[in-house]
Amino acid sequence: MNVTITWGDILIHLGIEIIVGLVVSFLFLRYILYYLRPRIQISPQIAYTDEAGIRTYWFKIVNQSRYEGFDLEFNVEAITMEAAGQNGFNLKIVQHIPLNKKDFSSVAGFQSNNQIKKGKTTAPHCLQVRTTENLHKILDDHGNFIRLHVSLKHGLSGISKSFEQQYAYNSPIHKGAFAFGNQYDVVKA
């Protein structure tokens, strides 16, 4: 049996392989960038406690990714809007709010409530940071708001991502502590 291969056959096969390679590369990259990116949920509420005459404000985050996160950094700022021309506003950082700890080396991957109950452990994928800065006073000015900014790297892919939550007026500040685990509500003290 005599098989004849022409340049046309080679070019067709080469073209098909290039197209298939591009499609597979695109799908793999899409998977990496979409499914392996960090996912953090920030509580829309702020908790506060009064102990020994010191008021402490708490922020809570939950790592929603299946994988561990690295190089977490928290920043909290008081921001105001100032007029800039007609119908425009600029954001102006009024104050950087100090936190008890703003850098964490890692946070565990997500654990469901059932996993937490079975393991009878803490919720290592949840973190709380606190400040003693008077947030009520900052938010009493209706032109101000507080912005919590969290950035981290995904444990498997190394992709970095930033997350923000804004708090305006006094509505999201509640006396008490955050509920345990994957809940974002403040439990009254």
Return the domain boundaries, the chain.
1-35, 38-187
User: What would the mean pLDDT of 139-160 be, rounded to a whole number?
Assistant: 87
First-residue to last-residue Cα distance in the chain: 88
120 pLDDT higher than 70: no
Model pTM score: 0.80
Burial 107-122 (b: 16+ CB within 10 A, else e): bbbbbeeeebeeeeee
143 pLDDT higher than 70: yes
Which DSSP category does 78 fall into? E
Q: What is the pLDDT of residue 110?
A: 85
Asked if residue 127 lies in contact with residue 72, where contact means CB atoms within 8 angstroms, the answer is: yes
Closest CA to 176 of 60, 50, 62: 50
Closest CA to 47 of 180, 187, 158: 187
Q: What is the pLDDT of residue 89?
A: 82
What top-level class would CATH report for the domain 38-187?
Answer: mainly beta
85 pLDDT higher than 80: no
119 pLDDT higher than 70: no
Alpha-carbon torsion angle 99, 105, 109, 114, nearest 10: -60
